[in-house]
Structure 1
């Protein structure tokens, strides 16, 4: 049997098929009420898998970023890598919002002739703010943790953006400290190896997690919610398809990266993003695949992927708010002019950073609507189909994060083509490093 048929990607596809079957069986049992035993089992297993993935995010970010800062101090042009990453974030976001967002909305007109009930309009609980970015990057504590209350129970969450900032600061301080910090940096390197080994154990469970999550989605979401908003959902998925099927292949081909090979390697990331609906949860998988199947050096990937997971969201921050804003305008009969469209582009390209502290497509939409002066109550019109469109948005988000990291690595001369070629049959055992890929870029 060929290697591709037994590889990790094939196992994920098998999990997807099994999950669809189990989902239809569960839906037949409880009629979509979510009260059947099979739906409960799928929900519990899927939630446990996502929780395992999220568990690895804080230690992975801290260990990887501190280690990468220590290693990048030996590399010439480290600042140029960071600037190139931000530029390519902006380029792909610009193309996504123009072609996958505004153009699709103007052609399909999702808000014209819709039968959605105006009574469902409601003000959102959380709104985007242009000051949220500054608030979001200032850590509440050194661990980036936030304690809140939900249904009377205390909850603990973390901000990847704050963890990134804290880890960068610790890494820079360790480098500036000199010889006294060497034991600490050696410890972080060893700790990173341990985290990556544990992460691989969790990733190997992906086929099971895939089956449970997609089964739960099929069983509980159904298609009843589409109804009057079917045209809007179609517009969203057409826009997402343009991004992932036209824009990403075009920029990859422009940079002479094999398009088919890239998407075959990134499949585990895309599929997990689709079923988990969590860029944060998939982030450990995104980083590992980007390193060990795409050939991006670990020193750069450990910076680019966590940053992308918080600010690079072509699905949530470009396609969705653009189409949704035009939908709201069409629903309320408000005419938009060229200035409005330019503002949509500006918010999509720049605004994702402004919502990084409170990441979410709904928050991004409120930022867009408030900037355009459109009614925020329009957000409530779209909440019923949020789970269905969030699956596609997240798949595009995580794929785009790997796209940019691979392109920047290739353009900067630090891409390991050898690892990329080996990744056709599965990931390599060792993440490529700068010293291995581009020794000329490493200071003696």
Structure 2
């Protein structure tokens, strides 16, 4: 046998003159999303400018099917994610302390976000000069009051929350089941094994849907441009700008400060690692639909898997800095100005209270109508004001949800850093394209929390 053929058979040295097979380069996930975004804007503009009805319909169907696929797994995903995350806490040192710290940081960042929202609303007067009147408002079909919120947590049966997609009730049932499983100990192990298997199955299926995000981006953005254009945004220019500026200040101002001062880590590296989840949230407008990706990027940022599996699902259903803090604060001021109602310091304090306590009312679903009606009913403002904002809701909801998800990834990093269980090597090496790289097999490490 010749030396060349021998080398070829062993694979150590390629044969002289051989050409490696051509392979298409992998396109990073962020680049795929960006491409879908650009194409969506172009197609949407073309459809609106040329009044191409079939193109508008096609973009609508593409975007709607993508969102529908995301929502398909929401109910079982939330139930099993919360159940498993609660039972996983038994594997974490100082689990009660971690859970308490997580909740406190959720509340603290919500207060900061609502304060920024109130400040922007008071400075810009978003309801002035819009040309809108109380006659333009429509009372929503479903509204939320405190009694509805409190009594609505407990379901009447175990089926209706899943069929009606009442995420708050699903969270309640999952939490009860999780605590009961912890109390039963070994007797509950068969149920826990099944729950883990079902959760992995759901996450795998949803991961396939997430890979369709570039196509979903094209449809959702394209239809938004074709349907709304700039005409509608013109009436709500100040309000829309306020929401985007408020969310940007929280996401790119407050969060980096907390990462630098509290966690003492590089904020740019956080956004590099969390960016795929933030992008998907912007497009899908669903915190729960983004949850598997949010958990993946959070773990890649060095948060222990056992803790991340609790904090991220918990955050996806309760941590809403965009939908439950910035948005209702600015929206309440906007509606009060349209209806010529004067708000005082007590009303502003009530808005802050609602944003912290009532954020679970949004429950990770697309839109924040329930949270807004809860805020308006608390302040005594006309619920018809909700109808004024429904038309613009898809536009502002993209930025709100992106802020929600950024906060849901931020808090586990803050808590892990403070409790000295953050893997700093993993944080420093977190990639911006986790969909394109295999899992590195890093074992989650949970050290004893600092005294």
Of 284, 290, 294, which aligns to 1:286? 294
Q: Secondary structure at the match of 1:158?
A: coil
Asked if 1:173 corresponds to 2:183, the answer is: no
Q: CA deviation at 1:103?
A: 0.8
1:12: which partner in 2?
33
Asked if 1:60 corresponds to 2:77, the answer is: yes
CA separation of 1:342 and 1:45: change in aligned 2, threshold 3 A: same
103-112 vs 182-191, greater mean Cα deviation: 182-191
Structure 2 segments unaligned to the other structure (5+ residues)? 1-24
Cα distance in structure 2, aligned partners of 1:214 and 1:388: 9
1:103: which partner in 2?
119
Cα distance in structure 2, aligned partners of 1:271 and 1:432: 25
2:257: which partner in 1?
250
Structure 1 segments unaligned to the other structure (5+ residues)? 147-155
1:76: which partner in 2?
93
- The answer to whether the Cα contact below 8 Å between 1:60 and 1:284 also exists between their aligned partners in 2 is no
- The answer to whether the Cα contact below 8 Å between 1:39 and 1:216 also exists between their aligned partners in 2 is yes
Report how many residues are paired: 422
1:150: which partner in 2?
none
1:367: which partner in 2?
374
318-327 vs 296-305, greater mean Cα deviation: 296-305
Q: CA deviation at 1:313?
A: 1.4
Question: How large is the Cα RMSD of the aligned pairs?
Answer: 2.8
CA separation of 1:304 and 1:135: change in aligned 2, threshold 3 A: farther
Q: Secondary structure at the match of 2:112?
A: helix
Cα distance in structure 2, aligned partners of 1:298 and 1:140: 34
1:158: which partner in 2?
165
Of 377, 390, 395, which aligns to 2:402? 395
Give matches, 1:34-433, under 5 Å. Answer: 36-99=53-116, 101-142=117-158, 145-146=161-162, 156-254=163-261, 255-291=263-299, 293-353=300-360, 356=363, 360-424=367-431, 426-427=433-434, 429-430=438-439
Radius of gyration: which is bigger?
2
2:12: which partner in 1?
none
Q: CA deviation at 1:98?
A: 0.8
- The answer to whether the Cα contact below 8 Å between 2:303 and 2:412 also exists between their aligned partners in 1 is yes
Cα distance in structure 2, aligned partners of 1:377 and 1:68: 39
2:446: which partner in 1?
438
Q: CA deviation at 1:250?
A: 1.6
CA separation of 1:157 and 1:419: change in aligned 2, threshold 3 A: farther
Cα distance in structure 2, aligned partners of 1:351 and 1:184: 32
2:19: which partner in 1?
none
TM-score (norm 1): 0.85
Q: Deviations over 1:172-208 (max 9, x none)?
A: 3333333333333333334433333333322222222
TM-score (norm 2): 0.84
- The answer to whether the Cα contact below 8 Å between 2:82 and 2:171 also exists between their aligned partners in 1 is yes
Cα distance in structure 2, aligned partners of 1:144 and 1:279: 22
- The answer to whether the Cα contact below 8 Å between 1:325 and 1:368 also exists between their aligned partners in 2 is yes
191-200 vs 121-130, greater mean Cα deviation: 191-200
- The answer to whether the Cα contact below 8 Å between 1:314 and 1:400 also exists between their aligned partners in 2 is yes
1:21: which partner in 2?
42
CA separation of 1:228 and 1:77: change in aligned 2, threshold 3 A: same
Cα distance in structure 1, aligned partners of 2:285 and 2:444: 35
